[in-house]
Chains A and B, each alone.
Chain A
């Protein structure tokens, strides 16, 4: 079985993974559907159709200007999914590069990079986003870049510490004694061992990116010509007291997307951990007869050999 398929199978084996995949599947399906068929133009106001209830014509009803909410939600899914994934990729790239580099380079270089990271963290992400938006317009890419950059610097700090922890193990020294080049050590030993933390962080970052984009849209700072859940929240917010119901659609959609990423992150992390697998490939959660004591467990004193 190819490694990718095996990972997918293992993700589905953990409860978090299943939930995450299910939730994100809803989002992905919404995106796919949006490219095949959108009942109405989500941006075009239809005077007179305001606040129609749920019907066969309007699966979620309409907003104050007669815009179909269902169309808005599935079209907005595109933006959120794109922003989530792109920001995570940008953050991952920046975070891994800076974090690992600052940990493996000699003290002078590494610590300088660490200081630079700390300075960059001090730049508030939203302010950076606003500046970039002002300069380059509200393109999705700009938003993703800003959010990815901001989260990436925080991730760098986390990954620097994690890389240092990995470097303290003898298997890194053993790799050097085995003739493994530094670059290969990074790919073979460091990256796989910092991956669990990175994955969880990135899943959180994807979720936060979606919320950040929605916030910027809520504030009216992103392009009007692009449907987004944040936009819908903004529109519906004005008439919230009179019609509290419809806001549940974009709100619920945000919850599903963010939770989906977070849970997927957990499932992916568990699927990649060899310690949670037996030699026959079952996940530990399926084999309660096997007990694994985590390394920092207090009773590990009785399990591990004394020094």
Chain B
């Protein structure tokens, strides 16, 4: 399952430099300044072609904030994100089409990420329309459905008519539709049953190979990261506690937080 024969030494695709994100909390008193939450406190990240990076952290680590900033969905307080050298500036969806044709996202909970009032086909078609992807859209919809293992004959069905695992496949199909180079997956299997997780992870690994995708996977599950990602970045309170090749970091962590994290994982 581990795509370890790709050593991630291709072109630099996404690069995040010195990212800081401070959230100003709502006012709790008339006097004094508003409290601040430092979600990200100086994070660097490089995503090369062919890379598979796991961003590991617990709640409050900043991993979800990081994912949103990489996608241009949130503006960092400081620092920059570039894709192939071009700066990512958050703004209306139209201004970021150039980024989103190459960088796509899969969310954690398919029940939330699929509009219950749209058919599977309409859901997958949306990025093709929104990102002005050339070519026949109907054909592309069928193509990606087959790639994720969903019978294209069921494409007029609604999300609730699919199982949880199938819904996540639909979400992956949607992300795949514009033929991106980078897939950012935010806890892609956490909401799924254990027996379904392996299937979805296998699917992702296969797609990464077939479509030459780079993967950035945000997860709290070290086992999943160990299975899928060659590199790992451990986030703690918005800063990078440790980073490196997954096998090495997990075998011999040098940072105390990483050590605590690894010690806490229940082993079978």
Touching chains A and B, CB distance < 8 Å: yes
Chain A residues proximal to chain B, CB less than 8 Å: 169-171, 173-182, 184-185, 188-189, 192-193, 274-275, 277-279, 292, 295, 304-307
Are A171 and B113 within 8 A (Cβ)? yes
Identify B164's interface contact among A171, A181, A188, A305, CB under 8 A: A305
B143 touches A (CB below 8 Å): no
B71, closest chain A residue (CB): A177
Q: Which residue of B lies closest to A185 (CB)?
A: B93
Q: Count how many chain B residues have C-beta atoms less than 8 Å from C-beta atoms of the other chain.
A: 43
A277 to B157, CA, bound (A): 10
Tell whether, in the assembled complex, residue A274 and residue B160 are in contact, meaning their CB atoms are under 8 Å apart.
Answer: yes
Docked-complex contact A181 and B160, CB < 8 angstroms: no
A184 to B132, CA, bound (A): 14
Residues on A with C-beta less than 8 A from B129 are 178-180
Is B73 a contact of A279 with CB atoms below 8 Å? no
Listed by A's residue number, 5 A-B pairs whose Cβ atoms lie within 8 Å are A169-B112, A178-B126, A274-B117, A274-B158, A277-B158
Distance between Cα atoms of A76 and B267 in the complex (Å): 77
> A176–B154 contact, CB under 8 A?
no
| B32 contacts chain A at the CB level, 8 A cutoff | no
Given contacts A180-B93, A188-B118, 18 further A-B contacts (CB under 8 A): A169-B115, A170-B109, A171-B114, A175-B130, A176-B93, A177-B71, A177-B105, A178-B100, A178-B126, A178-B127, A182-B92, A182-B93, A274-B117, A274-B158, A279-B154, A279-B156, A292-B160, A304-B164
The reply to whether A179 and B115 contact each other, CB–CB distance below 8 Å, is no
User: Chain B residues with Cβ under 8 A from A278's Cβ?
Assistant: 161
Q: Are the CB atoms of B107 and A174 closer together than 8 Å?
A: yes
Contacting residues, chain B, for A185 (C-beta < 8 A): 93
The answer to whether residues A174 and B113 also contact, given A304-B164, A305-B191, A307-B191 and a CB cut-off of 8 A, is yes
B92 engages A175 (CB within 8 Å)? no
CA of A43 to CA of B211 in the docked complex: distance in angstroms?
78
**Chain A residue at smallest Cβ distance from B96:** A179
Q: In the complex, which residues of chain B have a beta carbon less than 8 angstroms from the beta carbon of A274? A: 116-117, 158, 160
The distance in angstroms between the C-alpha atoms of A295 and B112, with both chains bound, is: 11
**Chain B residue at minimum C-beta to C-beta distance from A292:** B160
